């Protein structure tokens, strides 16, 4: 069945098995092409075959429509009649031919592992939630579609009244990356929120590895964040409360700024991204984390660096100034190429009035580093923490989840 034309294309309506419709939607998104062009290519390839293919089970086929070049559908119908197959069968085989000719692309792996340091000297701004959310978004299944907020620039989040405006969503394939979340905070929030127990204080830990007191291999401490959408790609290095002693222990360590890098280096080949959830501190542990996020020789700009999490209120601005001062001192004193990945304004709620909206305006006014994400203060994140589940598994289509996916892509 054909409908009125659109330029040099005409709308066609038929049926297609739900499985093929879903596979077609995912595969075209993976290759970045329109469904209509994939169907056009599939029909052309099917018509060029010298023999019929094995029949496809079309029982329960559902309505399907697309736009094809004028005349292609009529020629296709004639070919189906000549080959003795139904229109639905011919269309199903055509889509299957295209899928076979265009297999799912491999996930792109970075040449140098991406190291993201999520930090702010102020506690309570939501560093842990941002670390977990980005990691979850990076690890989601690349053979499934997930809703992502679409925005060319985060200034588009603001209306004239500085309120977050509704944005379009788009279903995109997951990024499928292998991710390690490092809980670097002695309060162990990341560990607990993801449903795991902190490491026992009398056992091995990241602190002991950094201090040269390791009892075994660090990889033996890593646990998996389990959910089918992550497919075994999302891992956690749990924290231990002995991290409260880290600054004291580091004071006697040789080249203490490189202590975190020495500890994590043996793990890097197993991951595409390592995210470090930092404590609210400006001590030696923050120096070690920042050093780990520096740009290494030959590493592309933007591959690694510091992501600063703030809130839309005045105390975050004070903490931001202290943190950036420390980072600038490290840059200067050690000659580091330490990049800012951006600022994330977390827990934003315009209903809190002038303090929130004017503060957000000030954050948006900073151009270097720029705001790369605004995450709303909504109930789903709190609920996910309460039930000790990853946000993107607990509420994968909530506004915070789609914003986390956009943030992960923004800094990738």
Q: Where are the alpha helices (DSSP H) in 251-343?
A: 259-264, 284-292, 314-334
Task: Give the domain-ending residue among 74, 101, 128.
Answer: 101
| Torsion of the alpha carbons at 300, 303, 306 and 311, rounded to the nearest 10 | 130
Q: Are 16 and 145 found together in one domain?
A: no
293 belongs to a structural domain: yes
Lowest mean pLDDT among 40-54, 86-100, 245-259, 312-326: 312-326
Q: Are 210 and 254 in contact (CB under 8 A)?
A: no
Residue pair 231/241 in contact (Cβ under 8 Å)? The answer is no
| Contact criterion met (CB below 8 Å) for 279 and 186 | yes
Q: Are residues 31 and 162 both part of a single domain?
A: no
| 134, 400 contact by CB (below 8 A) | no
Q: Of 66, 101, 136, which residue is a domain's last? A: 101
Measured CA to CA, the distance from residue 351 to residue 357 in angstroms comes to 9
Q: Is the pLDDT of residue 153 over 50?
A: no
CATH code, domain carrying 213? 3.40.50.300
Q: In this structure, are 89 and 196 located in the same domain?
A: no
The DSSP element (H or E) to which 390 belongs, if any, is none
Tell me phi and psi for residue 15, to 5 degrees: -135, 155
Taking the model in full, what pTM does it have? 0.88
Q: Which two tokens stand for residue 50?
A: 């010298």
Q: What pLDDT is attached to residue 3?
A: 57
Count of domains observed in the chain:
2
pLDDT at 244 over 50: yes
Per-residue model confidence as pLDDT tens digits over 187-242: 999 999 999 999 999 999 999 999 999 989 999 999 999 999 999 999 999 999 98
Judge if 314 and 221 occupy the same domain: yes
pLDDT given for residue 162 in this prediction: 42
Percent with pLDDT over 70 in the chain? 94
pLDDT digits (tens, 9 = 90+) for 63-102: 999 999 999 999 999 999 999 999 999 999 999 999 999 9
- Is residue 37 domain-shared with residue 148, that is, in the same domain? no
> CATH number for the domain including 70?
1.10.1220
Return the percentage of the chain with pLDDT > 90, whole number: 71
Question: Within a domain: residue 109?
Answer: no
- Is residue 284 over pLDDT 60? yes
Of the pLDDT bands very low, low, confident and very high (cuts 50, 70, 90), residue 52 is confident
Dist. CA 206–CA 260, nearest whole Å:
8
Residue 212 lies in a domain: yes
Are both 60 and 204 inside the same structural domain? no
Q: With a cut of 60, say whether residue 164 has pLDDT above it.
A: no
**What is each CA distance from 272 to 59, 173, 177, 234, 283, in whole angstroms?**
42, 17, 6, 11, 28
Q: Same domain for 217 and 279?
A: yes
Examine residue 244 and state whether it is found in any structural domain, yes or no.
yes
Q: How confident is the model at residue 145 (pLDDT cuts 50, 70, 90)?
A: very high
Q: What is the pLDDT of residue 161?
A: 42
Last residue of a domain, one of 47, 71, 101: 101
Binned at pLDDT 50, 70 and 90, residue 165 comes out as: very low
The DSSP result for 98-135, as a single string, is: HHHHSPPPPPPPPSS-EEEEEE-SSTTS-HHHHHHHHH
Q: Show the domain range for 29.
A: 2-101
- 80 with 185, same domain: the answer is no
**Which residues make beta-bridge pairs with 12?**
2, 66
């Amino acid at each position: 069945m054909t409908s009125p034309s659109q330029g040099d294309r005409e709308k066609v309506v038929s049926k297609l098995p739900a499985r093929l419709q879903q596979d077609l939607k995912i595969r075209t998104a993976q290759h970045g092409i329109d469904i209509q062009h994939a169907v056009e290519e599939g029909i052309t390839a099917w018509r060029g075959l010298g023999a019929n293919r094995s029949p496809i089970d079309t029982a329960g086929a559902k309505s399907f429509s697309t736009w094809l070049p004028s005349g292609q559908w009529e020629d296709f119908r004639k070919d189906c009649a000549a080959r003795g197959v139904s229109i639905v069968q011919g269309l199903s085989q055509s889509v299957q031919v295209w899928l076979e000719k265009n297999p799912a692309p491999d996930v792109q792996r970075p040449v140098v592992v991406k190291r993201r340091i999520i930090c702010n000297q102020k506690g309570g701004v939501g560093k842990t939630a941002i670390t977990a959310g980005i990691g979850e978004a990076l690890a989601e299944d690349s053979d499934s579609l997930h809703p992502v907020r679409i925005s060319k620039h985060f200034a588009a989040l603001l209306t004239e009244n500085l309120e977050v405006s509704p944005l379009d969503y788009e279903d995109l394939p997951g990024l499928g990356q292998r991710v390690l979340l490092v809980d670097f905070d002695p309060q162990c929030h990341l560990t607990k929120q993801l449903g795991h127990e902190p490491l026992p204080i009398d056992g091995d830990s990241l602190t002991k590895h950094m201090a040269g007191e390791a009892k075994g291999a660090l990889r033996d401490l890593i646990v998996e964040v389990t959910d089918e959408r992550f497919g075994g790609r999302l891992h956690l290095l749990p924290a231990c409360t002995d991290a409260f002693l880290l600054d004291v222990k580091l004071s006697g360590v040789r080249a203490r700024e490189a202590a975190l890098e020495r500890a994590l280096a043996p793990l890097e080949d197993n991951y595409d991204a390592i995210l470090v959830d930092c404590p609210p501190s400006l001590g030696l542990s923050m120096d070690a984390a920042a050093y780990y996020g520096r740009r290494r020789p030959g590493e592309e700009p933007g591959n690694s660096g510091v992501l600063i999490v703030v809130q839309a209120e005045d105390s975050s601005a004070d903490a931001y100034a202290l943190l950036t001062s420390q980072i600038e001192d490290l840059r200067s004193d050690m000659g580091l190429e330490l990049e800012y990945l951006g600022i994330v304004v977390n827990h934003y709620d315009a209903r809190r009035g002038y303090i929130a909206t004017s503060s957000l305006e000030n954050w948006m006014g900073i151009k270097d580093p720029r705001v790369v994400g605004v995450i709303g203060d909504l109930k789903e994140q709190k609920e996910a923490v309460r039930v000790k589940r990853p946000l993107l598994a607990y509420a994968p289509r909530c506004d915070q989840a789609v914003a986390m996916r956009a943030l992960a892509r923004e800094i990738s």
